[in-house]
Homo-oligomer: A and B are copies of this chain.
Amino acid sequence: MKHAFSSIELSLPSRLGFEKIAMNTAASVGRIMGFPEDRIEDLKTAIAEACINAIEHGNRLDEKLVVGVTLSMTPDALEVRVLDTGPGPRFPVEVPDIDKKMNEEQQSRGMGMFLIEALVDEAEWVSTPSSGSYARMVIRLPKSEE
């Protein structure tokens, strides 16, 4: 990459299904950066889950509220922030447990944040009480590629 830093911004109304727009925008950025196809898939799922959470939980499906996505390219990684206007998740978040789910001791949902953490290289949730919160994810380029 010629330039050390450059950033792409996307904003979406809070409507379920629109996470696909973020997925495809991010995939396009990932391909330009040279990520291998399996990492693009990881990125797509992670960003989709973060957007769905922002739409559903953060902005409570209020379409007038915007979900913001920033994609920051550095020479060795892509950093993604998914912003909403809510307070962010309350920690600790219950870890999904398939045995409990199959025994109906845990609701079937609740796998999004777990998947985000499993699929990207860094994931954190940042709450900025005055303005909202964001999920921050970093996915690094494989070393051999640079």
Contacts and interface: CB of A to CB of B under 8 A. Distances in A.
Nearest to A10: B10
A20 B6 contact: no
A13 B72 CA distance: 11
Interface size of A as a range: 20 to 34
Contact of A25 (B15, B21, B32): B21
Contact of A6 (B6, B24, B27, B63): B63
Contacts of A20: 28, 31-32
Nearest to A13: B6
Contacts of A23: 28
Count of this chain's copies in the oligomeric assembly:
2
Contacts of A15: 3, 6
A59 to B, nearest CB: 13
A13 B3 CA distance: 11
A23 to B, nearest CB: 8
A25 B29 CA distance: 10
A11 interface: yes
A114 to B, nearest CB: 26
